[in-house]
Amino acid sequence: MIRAVLLAVILLVLVTAVAVVTRGGPRDAPTDRRLSDAATTTLVVLGMLALGVAITLGFTVGDGWPLLPIGAWVGAYLVVRVRDRTRPQRERATLEQRRDAARRRLDEFGPDGVAALDEAETLIDRILHTEAAQHGWLGDLDFGADTEMIAAAQRRITELRKACDEWAALPDPMPVDADLIVDAQRSIGELKAAVAERLQVLHDCANQAEAVDRALAQQREQDAVEHRRDQLRVRITALLTGTRAASQREPSEATDLVRSRVAAFQELQATIQAHRRADSID
């Protein structure tokens, strides 16, 4: 009797908890107070598992043991609830960190520098994702020096531009500094040319690596065609050999018998016709 009452209470508690969790709170409740769909699904699955274990323990071990899985489910509910309620804060913190990193990157390298670094990463990914690179046809690849060169050049370009802008903002510019600014602008042009040249090298490498992939694919296709051609050559040769053997086989006795009987019949028929003509003349 006690076990039955205990199991009924367990069932009622779990069903009520699952209903509350599934409902997720009032419709007008704040978003951060309601459980997400993933958290709700997790708690429902754990609740059904705890219910099954509690029923099994209630009928096999004793009256107090079914409370253990129920307690475990309550603990899991608290953990999931806390993590789910703090999820928006964690997501906002992660998003803010990404924005801060993007701002620092933009401030360090400038818009052109960020674009150049992104292009370099894209080209390097193209190279590394080719079959030739993944199978070791291109050797051990390390493009760290290229990305470091582009980053250093763009960082220096940004610093020179900022310094030139600050100099231009000063009142009463001195003519003696004009040559220095010209040198700075020349250096910026040289650095930009070096970055463009390095990006072109990476672009050429990506195109060449992809060309190797196409060559490998064509070679596989050609090998498959040659393999199929060899198979058909063997098959046709075997068929031709069988054809020659079949054409050289002697006729059967039945064909000889038919031919001889037909010839005898024709000869007999010719003899009869000759006698009939002779009788008609007489």
Tell me the per-residue pLDDT of 165-215, one tens digit each, with 9 for 90 and over: 888 888 877 777 778 888 999 999 999 999 999 999 999 999 999 999 999
Same domain, 81 and 140: no
Q: How far is CA 203 from the centre of its chain?
A: 23
DSSP class per residue in 61-122: T-SSTTHHHHHHHHHHHHHHHHHHHHHHHHHHHHHHHHHHHHHHHHHHHHHHHHHHHHHHHH
155 pLDDT above the threshold of 80 = yes
Residue 267, in any domain of the structure? no
Sequence-ordered strand ranges (E) for the chain: none
Q: How far apart are alpha carbons 3 and 6 in whole angstroms?
A: 5
The two tokens of residue 68 are: 């253990």
Tell me the per-residue pLDDT of 54-67, one tens digit each, with 9 for 90 and over: 767 766 776 666 66
Q: How far is CA 200 from the centre of its chain?
A: 28
Same domain, 133 and 96: no
Number of domains present in the structure of the chain: 2
Same domain, 57 and 157: no
25 pLDDT above the threshold of 60 = no
pLDDT band at 26 (very low <50, low <70, confident <90, very high): very low
Tell me the per-residue pLDDT of 70-116, one tens digit each, with 9 for 90 and over: 778 778 877 877 777 777 787 888 888 888 888 888 888 889 999 99
Residue 270, in any domain of the structure? no
Show the domain range for 42: 2-100
Same domain, 18 and 90: yes
